[in-house]
Structure 1
Amino acid sequence: MASSSASVSGSGSPPPPRADGIAIAVERRPPASRLTELGVGSWPKWGGGPGRIALSYDARQTCYIVRGKVTAAAAAAEGSPETGRVEFGAGDLVVFPRGTRCTWHIAVAVDMHYAFDPS
């Protein structure tokens, strides 16, 4: 069973982007049982159209992408060079560890469920 802390899946995939040594984790198409176990259906929802959004995570955030396509470009600090990119989209569970700084490049409008974990 895949773990929510797993790196980007797929053999030969580049390592996930890192910001201050923190890896963004993508779990591709987790089984429905995993989503139920996490309580994804009860999480708040968010949606956004194509464009760019700069984000900084003060708490760990887990997102389940219902629809859309995003490339997240991580950086150690705002305005600093990129440290990597990861793509995710419909059906993916994505974990942004606390302290992550990245810019979402939304290619296809996104609908998602999300939860914050302050630990």
Structure 2
Amino acid sequence: MTTVIEKLGICPIKIERNPPESKLTQLGVRQWPKWGCPPSKFPWTYEAKETCYLLEGKVKVFPSGSNESVEIAAGDLVVFPKGMSCTWDVSVGVDKHYNFE
């Protein structure tokens, strides 16, 4: 089953848990470049809208100016809005496909 979660705050982060393979194929996710990192914590600002699909990993994302965090993990299709600043707290090493618009 697919679950869509929208976190509102300073900037919305959209998370779709376990999207169907048909949606991943339609988006061309498997052709997107890949990026990975070991467990770590770092600040990040999105210069463009990013859509990513986590193959592995677990991350808590703390949007700047918000008291809440968003947890993303393997199997999540996530959209980060352009201009959002946040801190990534990676507890399990990440391997993801990503696409900037």
The verdict on a shared fold, with TM-score over 0.5 as the criterion, is yes
Deviation at 1:23, TM superposition (A): 0.4
Identify unmatched segments of 5+ residues in structure 1. 9-15, 77-81
Sequence identity (%):
45
Equivalent residues, number? 101
Taking the aligned partners of 1:68 and 1:17, their CA distance within structure 2 comes to 23
Contact 1:17 1:85 in 2 (8 A): no
Tell whether 2:78 aligns with 1:94.
yes
Pick the structure with greater CA Rg. Answer: 1
Taking the aligned partners of 2:14 and 2:70, their CA distance within structure 1 comes to 9
Q: Secondary structure at the match of 2:75?
A: coil
The one-character-per-residue Cα deviations of 1:60-119 (angstroms, maximum 9, x if unpaired) are 00010000000000014xxxxx342100100000100111111110000000000001xx
Q: Normalising by the residue count of structure 1, what TM-score does the alignment of the two structures yield?
A: 0.78
Cα RMSD (Å): 1.9
Taking the aligned partners of 1:7 and 1:35, their CA distance within structure 2 comes to 17
Q: Normalising by the residue count of structure 2, what TM-score does the alignment of the two structures yield?
A: 0.91
Deviation at 1:53, TM superposition (A): 1.7
Identify unmatched segments of 5+ residues in structure 2. none
Check 1:105–1:45 CA distance in 2 against 1; reply closer, same or farther (3 A cut): same
